[in-house]
Structure 1
Amino acid sequence: MRVRRILATDAERVRALRLEALDDPAAGLAFHETRETAEARPESFWTDRAITGSLGDDSAQYIAEDGARWVGTATVLAARSGRGALLVGVFVSADHRGAGVLDALVDAAGEWARARGADEIGLEVHVDNHRAQAAYRRLGFTPTGVTVTGPNGQELAMTRPLAG
């Protein structure tokens, strides 16, 4: 398995992995869109997303590859203010969960954030998404005590310091 930042030419694969993620049983808790919404987006949306995720200074999208197959993704956003970064759009294919894919994606996102001066990385996870919460706790994320109301309901804010 290998983790890398996406390429500007990866639009079709970015779309395909997003659709796979939206088919996951927890998608209703984890993502702020439906498969139908994503499928209806024009090709230009996915092209722009690939360009931004590959070349942007404010965000980076990473994927995990097992051979030629993409088996996971995570996007990291630079903080608008402060010294943190935000992890979003995290997904690992069901058949690759528990194999270190999430660890490698979070590490890559953290390295990108640290290179931009961040000293912590945060995320928001639905209060009912216990599987994701457990995975993030295992990776060193701790609840901040803050909950936010997102499009899917209450989400728990978690952070993890980025090592020096």
Structure 2
Amino acid sequence: MNQHVIRPVRADEWEKVKELRIAALRDPDAAVAFLETEEAAAGRPDAFWQARTEGASHGRMARQFIAEAPDGSWSGSVVVLVEEAGTTGIFDEDIEVHQGHLVGVFVRPEQRGSGLTEALFEAAVEWVWSLEEPALERVRLFVHEKNGRAAAFYRRFGFVTSGLDVPVPTEEGAREIEYVFPRPA
């Protein structure tokens, strides 16, 4: 039985946020999962990590959920960014609806298949649906066209392709595919 607690980060946990991000970027699948390198993340100043964690710990615009083991270690994370209609997304695409955008999805290899990713996604989606004025219409994410394992999980969770794909800025000729999870009626 999985004993992890799924919860939002707290503002003072920036060192753990940094450690987990760097661990994610060391993963063999990082090249098709993240748009950042380990070197870039490790080179960021403490003030960056403090601000990032503070911003994802409260408020409406971002929330980071973590899977915390009984010993206090973190086994995984997902970040939700709120995108407002009429703005531009991370790939310079037009945002047409109020939506949540899942990014930074990572579960340590030894915990994959344990249900932690599902638990993290459930917490993230529940938070998105809890937001009011304006309510968010859907949750979305992008997955590299070569990241079949992640795409399979997203489909099992209930995400479907939207038909939008965008170039991967760090890889000539590669595409990121948008998946969406609409708000239940």
Q: Give TM-score scaled by structure 2 length.
A: 0.85
Q: Which moved more, 1:48-57 or 1:122-131?
A: 48-57
- Distance in 1 (CA, whole Å) between partners of 2:8 and 2:166 is 29
Is 2:36 aligned against 1:15?
no
Aligned length: 164
Of the three residues 89, 100, 106, the one matched with 1:91 is 106
Tell me the secondary structure at the aligned position of residue 55 of structure 1. coil
Report if the CA contact (8 A) 1:5-1:60 is conserved: yes
Q: CA RMSD in A?
A: 1.2
Partner deviation per Cα, 1:113-145 (whole Å, 9 max, x = no partner) = 111211321100000001100111110111111
5+ residue gaps, structure 2: 86-96
Residue by residue over 1:8-60, the C-alpha shift from the partner in whole angstroms, topping out at 9 and shown as x without a partner, is 00000000000110011110111111111111000000000110010232010
Moved more, 94-103 or 149-158: 149-158
1:110–1:162: 8 Å Cα contact kept in structure 2? no
- 3-state SS of 1:107 partner: helix
Task: Write the distance in 1 (CA, Å) between the matches of 2:119 and 2:82.
Answer: 19
The one-letter amino acid of 1:90's match is V
Q: In the alignment, which of 47, 72, 77 is matched to residue 73 of structure 1?
A: 77
- From the two aligned structures, give the one with the greater helix fraction: 1
C-alpha separation between the residues in 2 aligned to 1:103 and 1:163? 18
In structure 1, stretches of 5+ residues that fail to align are none
Corresponding residue to 2:48 among 45, 54, 57 = 45
What does residue 128 of structure 1 align with?
Answer: 146
Quote the Cα distance in structure 2 between the aligned partners of 1:56 and 1:65: 21
1:151 Cα offset (Å): 2.0
Aligned-pair identity in percent equals 39
How far apart are the structure 1 equivalents of 2:121 and 2:183?
11
SS of structure 1 residue aligned to 2:153: helix
1:64 aligns with 2:82: no
Matched, 1:143 2:161: yes
Q: Which amino acid aligns with 1:140?
A: G
1:26 aligns with 2:29: yes
Task: Report the CA distance shift for 1:101/1:162 in structure 2 as closer, same or farther (over 3 A).
Answer: farther
1:35 alignment counterpart: 38
Q: Give the partner amino acid of 2:39.
A: E
Q: Give the TM-score of the pair, scaled to structure 1.
A: 0.95
- Aligned counterpart, 1:162: 183
1:162 to partner: Cα distance: 3.2
